Amino acid sequence: MPRLYSGLPARSSIGGAQHRRKSLRGSSISYTSALLAVLIGIVHAGLAPVVVIAGVRPNLALAAVVLVTCVYGFEAGILWAFVAGVVANLMIPEPLGSIPLALLAVAAVTGGSQRLIGRLVWVAPVVAAFAASVTADLVALTVARLVGDPLTGGVPLDLILPAAALNAAIVGVLLYPARLIATRIGLLEPASW
């Protein structure tokens, strides 16, 4: 059996072709992806305290994590969640680790919804964004309660649900351009919708 330069046995021609195709396509996690996640964290930290739409603040890092998880997969989603969350958490006066924890929960909810509904259905990312936004807000409230910030009056559903609808609308607006860019650079097959 012929050997490759790495000392590993050669694969069959079918497996080798699939391996070469996968390696030519590249990984969804790269230095550029991490730098873009840092940029999203900075933009989120700069705009989160300032921008208010219909009485609620949009969560741009959440929308980015949902889009990246839907388009590029769970691995890229958790990378973006962690990197953007840490960067935003260092710039926003929130309990340390609360934003990355909430964004990792967002990536988990989005990845779980992809398993249930599928990646190519256009409604799945919007529904995932709504559920992930509610989850992220509940995680943030739980962390705030744990570090000693008492919540008076219970869970503020009058703020959580409109924020979730706003974040889902942002994901809905940005979904088609995100999939178009991913298709254009060759990382994704054309969508079925």
Write the pLDDT tens digit of every residue in 43-96.
Answer: 989 988 888 888 888 999 999 999 998 888 888 899 999 999 999 999 988 888
Q: What is the predicted pLDDT for the residue at 150?
A: 67
Residue 183: pLDDT band with limits 50, 70, 90: confident
Q: Lowest mean pLDDT of 14-18, 71-75, 108-112, name the range.
A: 14-18
CATH of domain 28-184: 1.10.1760.20
Mean pLDDT of the chain: 79
Q: Which residues of 90-114 are buried (b: 16+ CB within 10 A; e: fewer)?
A: ebeebeeebbbbbbbbbbbbbbebb
**Cα separation of 110 and 151, whole Å?**
27
Enter the pTM of the model.
0.77
